[in-house]
Amino acid sequence: MTILYVVLLIAGAYLIGSIPTAIWIGRWFYGIDVREHGSGNAGTTNTIRVLGYKAGIPVFFFDIFKGWTAVQLAEIFPNVLPDADAMIYLKIGLTIAAVIGHVFPVYEGFRGGKGVATIAGAAIALYPLSFLIVLGIFALTLFLSHYVSLSSILAAIAFPFTVIFISGEHHVGLIVLSILVAVFIPITHIPNIRRLMKGEENKFLFRNKNPENPK
Helices (H), the chain: 2-17, 21-30, 44-51, 53-72, 84-103, 116-126, 128-145, 148-161, 172-188, 190-198
Q: Residue 93: name the closest of 61, 59, 124, 126 by CA.
A: 126
* Full DSSP string of 92-155: HHHHHHHHHHHHS-GGGTT-----HHHHHHHHHHH-HHHHHHHHHHHHHHHHHH--HHHHHHHH
Q: At what angle do helices 53-72 and 116-126 cross, to 10 degrees?
A: 40
The CA distances from residue 29 to 2, 41, 62, 94, 183, in Å, are 42, 18, 16, 30, 35
Q: Which segments of the chain have a pLDDT < 70?
A: 1, 207-215
CB 17 within 8 A of CB 34: no
Position 1 scores a pLDDT of: 60
The CA distances from residue 146 to 140, 190, 208, 211, in Å, are 10, 18, 13, 17
Position 215 scores a pLDDT of: 55
Q: pTM for this structure? A: 0.93
CB proximity list for 28: less than 8 A, separation 6 or greater: none
Residue ranges per domain, the chain?
A: 2-198
